[in-house]
C-alpha cells in the first residue's frame, strides 16, 4: 500500500503519524465502520466530534457526538478549541483539539471520522497523518444508502448527494482507499493501518 510523504513535509513525525483520518462521501458507511470498531475494539480511541446537527434517533450526547447550539460552537471556534471544523449540509462539525493532542503526545493511535474539508485541514496542519478514503462499491449503492436512510427530509438528502459527488472526486488526495463492500473487512483493514510499523 502506498505511503507517500507529502512534498515539503518533514519525513515521518512519529506522533502525527499515529493520526488516521477516515473520510469519504456522506452515506458511504463511515459511521457504521466507526460503530463497529467501537463495539469490537473498545480500546481503540475514537475522537468524538462536536456538531450543531440535532441528534438522530439512538444517538447519545458524548458517544456519537457532542451536540451543541450555534453559540456553543462559535465559542469553541473562537477559543481555538477545534483542531479542524467544517460546515456540512447546513450544520457545523468539529474535532475537539485537546483530547487528540493529548493522545498523540502519549504516542497513542487516534482515529478521526470527518468530512473532506476537515481531512484537507488535517493534511495541512499535520502532514504525516494518514488519510483514508472510504469509497462506495458504486454510485448507485451510495444513492440507495442516502435515500434509504429515511431520517432526513428530501432537500437534506439532495444536499448530501451533491456533496457526495464532489467528495468522490477527491479520492486521489488520499493515501489509501478502502472500498466498503463489507464493514468487517473495512474495520480489519483500518485497524491494520492504524498500527504504526
Alpha carbons 94 and 118: distance in angstroms, whole number:
8
Cβ proximity to ligand 5GP: between 8 and 57 the closer is 57
Cell of 127: 502532514
Asked if 52 touches ligand 5GP (CB under 6 A), the answer is no
What is each CA distance from 49 to 9, 15, 96, 139, 140, in whole angstroms? 27, 21, 6, 27, 29
In the shown chain, the binding pattern of residues 4 to 43 toward ligand 5GP, with x for contact by CB under 6 A and - for none, equals ----------------------x---xx------------
Q: Which of 94, 123, 128, 136 is the binder for ligand 5GP (CB under 6 A)?
A: 94
Cell of 177: 482507499
**Whether 9 contacts 128, CB under 8 Å:** yes
Asked if 117 touches ligand 5GP (CB under 6 A), the answer is yes
Query: Which positions from 153 through 182 interact with ligand 5GP, judged by CB under 6 A?
Result: none
The contact set with ligand 5GP (CB under 6 A) reads 26, 30-31, 49, 53, 84-86, 88, 93-95, 113-115, 117-118
Amino acid at each position: 500500500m502506498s505511503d507517500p510523504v507529502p512534498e515539503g513535509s518533514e519525513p515521518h513525525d512519529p506522533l502525527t503519524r499515529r493520526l488516521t483520518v477516515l473520510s469519504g462521501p456522506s452515506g458511504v458507511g463511515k459511521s457504521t465502520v466507526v460503530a463497529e470498531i467501537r463495539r469490537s475494539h473498545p480500546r481503540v480511541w475514537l475522537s468524538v466530534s462536536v456538531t450543531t446537527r440535532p441528534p438522530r434517533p439512538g444517538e447519545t450526547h458524548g458517544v456519537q457526538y457532542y451536540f451543541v447550539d450555534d453559540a456553543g460552537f462559535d465559542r469553541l471556534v473562537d477559543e481555538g478549541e477545534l483542531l479542524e471544523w467544517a460546515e456540512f449540509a447546513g450544520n457545523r462539525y468539529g474535532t475537539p483539539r485537546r483530547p487528540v493532542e493529548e493522545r498523540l503526545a502519549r504516542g497513542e493511535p487516534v482515529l478521526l471520522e470527518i468530512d473532506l474539508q476537515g481531512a484537507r485541514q488535517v493534511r495541512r496542519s499535520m502532514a504525516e497523518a494518514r488519510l483514508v478514503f472510504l469509497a462506495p462499491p458504486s454510485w448507485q449503492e451510495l444513492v440507495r444508502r442516502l435515500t434509504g436512510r429515511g431520517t432526513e427530509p428530501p432537500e437534506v438528502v439532495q444536499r448530501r448527494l451533491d456533496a457526495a459527488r464532489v467528495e468522490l472526486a477527491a479520492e486521489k488526495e488520499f493515501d489509501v482507499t478502502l472500498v466498503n463492500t463489507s464493514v468487517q473487512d473495512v474495520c480489519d483493514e483500518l485497524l491494520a493501518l492504524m498500527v504504526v510499523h
